[in-house]
Amino acid sequence: MGHPHLDEALAYEAAEFQAIVALQRLYGSAAVDYSVHGLHMYRAIAQRLLPIANRGTQLARLVIAASEHPNVLLPALEVCARLLLDEVAAIPHGSAL
């Protein structure tokens, strides 16, 4: 029988590894830093960039639609573009979010 603290540490490490593997499968990316700080940083980045990606997708759809109906969708296109630029500008530069 092993040492209780060593057994607990190994069990904890195995649980962490399983969580990392599940998150990598879910988000389709690889985490190279398994520390809690690194995981919090990845989460913060995802929380900042996912809305920007969604806004970019919305803008692309409006651009396509505006090419078919230019006079109708131009105001919506401009609003969406401004929101996208504001969201990008709000990302701190040179920091870990």
Q: What is the pLDDT of residues 66-88, one digit of tens each?
A: 888 767 677 778 888 888 888 88
**Sign of the alpha-carbon torsion through 58, 63, 64, 66:** positive
Model's pTM, two decimal places?
0.48
Residue 97 has pLDDT above 60, yes or no: no
In angstroms, the CA 38 to CA 31 distance is 8
What pLDDT is recorded for position 27?
A: 80
Give Cα separations from 57 to 52, 54, 75, 89 (angstroms).
9, 5, 17, 18
Cα 93 to chain center, whole Å? 16
- Least confident span in 13-17, 56-60, 81-85: 13-17
Q: What average pLDDT score do residues 6-24 get?
A: 79
In angstroms, the CA 9 to CA 12 distance is 5
Percent of the chain with pLDDT over 70: 79
Q: What average pLDDT score do residues 40-44 get?
A: 78
What pLDDT is recorded for position 94?
A: 58
**Residue 41 has which token pair?**
């940083």
